[in-house]
Amino acid sequence: MAGYSTKLGTCMQGDSLDVLRTLPDHSIDLIVTSPPFSLQRHKSYGEVEQNQYVDWLLQFGAAAYDKLKDTGSFVVDIGGAYQKGQPIRSLYPFRFMLRMCDELGYCLAQDFYWHNPSALPTPIEWVNKRKLRCKTSVNTVWWFSKTNQPKSDIRNVLVPYSARMQDWIDRPQDFVKKEGTLRPSGHKMSIKSWAKDNGGAIPPNLLQISNSDSNSPYLRYCKQLGIKGHPARFPVKLPEFFIKMLTDENDLVMDLFSGSNTTGQAAENLGRRWLSVDINLEYVASSVFRFMDDVEQAEKNFHAIMAQKELYL
């Protein structure tokens, strides 16, 4: 298959179902991916009709199940959509979630929601034109696990304390007036517990990550070389969060629909081995820009990958 490799990973053009079949069972620690969404309007990166979407996507869940380690996870970012010609939502993200668990045997470890504060006011018909609905700025991110005990450590994804919480840690005596006082929850207040600094706060399952990148090396090289970048990139902080929480160094991370290979970049930066697959050769070739230091090197590698097409015909 055409593609390229880095120190820690490989990106290849092909059908990820075919690639999964070649991998040993119990070899993948984490799959984190964002498949083409089921949209009503045609997109250049492809999509699947809503009435076929769940069956189509379940193929990948089924193929991945035996390839995951028992401690492994399958994280999938699914954008919702409205039903055709109607201002009501399609239920396919939830049907997919239920069937992954009921039919394929996955566990729903936790539901996450990715809020993109910079999302445009869409869908145009119901938001901009008719003004019947609020803009959609939240994607569902399902965290499936193979068993009920997946590898996970939230200490790797702690977030900075709020100013208020930092005050409590620095000056607990100002907030705990009497040791052992009962809180409304029934817990006893303790100066010792309030003064403990755990290195950060536990993050919520609402991930607020802006998708407003406009000047990354990937986009700069695409622009300079006249190559159309992938139109549906997700921000590197999204796969980064799950890679940090659900894997250790040298674990294997896979992306089944890699697009511009944001997942591969995040895994490489975090010292994880990775494998990314996309059906579109041009997207695979341009994703090498994420690992290049200058535009000449980027152009050379892009054309070398595109030339591989002739070898696999």
The whole-number pLDDT of residue 185 equals: 57
- Kindly state whether residues 83 and 134 are assigned to the same domain: yes
- Rounded to the nearest 5 percent, the helix, strand and coil shares of the chain are 35, 20, 45
- Kindly state whether residues 91 and 65 are assigned to the same domain: yes
Contact 173, 191 (CB under 8 A): yes
pLDDT digit string, tens, across residues 50-87: 678 999 999 999 999 999 999 999 999 998 888 888 99
- Kindly state whether residues 151 and 276 are assigned to the same domain: yes
Contact 257, 233 (CB under 8 A): no
The count of structural domains within the chain is: 2
The whole-number pLDDT of residue 50 equals: 66
- Kindly state whether residues 64 and 181 are assigned to the same domain: no
Spell out, as residue ranges, where the chain has pLDDT lower than 50: 39-46, 312-313
Of the candidates 243, 169, 167, the residue with the CA atom closest to the CA atom of residue 199: 169
Of the candidates 143, 82, 92, 116, the residue with the CA atom closest to the CA atom of residue 213: 116
- Kindly state whether residues 54 and 195 are assigned to the same domain: no
- Kindly state whether residues 134 and 182 are assigned to the same domain: no
The whole-number pLDDT of residue 119 equals: 87
Of the candidates 271, 270, 261, the residue with the CA atom closest to the CA atom of residue 292: 261
CATH of the domain at 140: 3.40.50.150
91: Cβ–Cβ under 8 A, 6 or more apart, which residues? none
CA dist 142 and 92 (Å) reads 13
CA dist 186 and 194 (Å) reads 16
* DSSP calls for 202-258: PPPSEEE------SSHHHHHHHHHT-PPPTTPPPTHHHHHHHHHH--TT-EEEESS-
- Kindly state whether residues 224 and 241 are assigned to the same domain: yes
- Kindly state whether residues 171 and 61 are assigned to the same domain: no
* Cα distances (Å, whole numbers) of residue 59 to 213, 223, 255, 298: 32, 35, 15, 34
- Kindly state whether residues 123 and 41 are assigned to the same domain: yes
- Kindly state whether residues 226 and 294 are assigned to the same domain: yes
Phi, psi (rounded to 5 degrees) for 76:
-130, 125
What tokens appear for 138 in the block? 């939240």
Contact 119, 80 (CB under 8 A): no
- Kindly state whether residues 34 and 53 are assigned to the same domain: yes
Which one of 175, 201, 227 terminates a domain? 201
Which one of 146, 174, 201 terminates a domain? 201
Instruction: Determine the angle formed by the axes of helices 50-65 and 92-102, rounding to 10 degrees.
Output: 30
The whole-number pLDDT of residue 2 equals: 87
What residues make up the domain containing 173? 160-201
Which one of 150, 172, 201 terminates a domain? 201
Task: Please list the residues that pair with 141 across neighbouring strands.
Answer: 77, 112
The whole-number pLDDT of residue 46 equals: 47
Q: What is the pTM of this model?
A: 0.90
DSSP annotation of 273 reads: E
Task: Please list the residues that pair with 33 across neighbouring strands.
Answer: 76
Number of CB atoms found within 10 A of residue 171's CB: 12
Contact 29, 72 (CB under 8 A): yes
- Kindly state whether residues 113 and 234 are assigned to the same domain: yes
Helix (H) or strand (E) holding 82: none
The whole-number pLDDT of residue 42 equals: 41
The whole-number pLDDT of residue 312 equals: 47
Write out the catalytic residue numbers. 34-35, 77
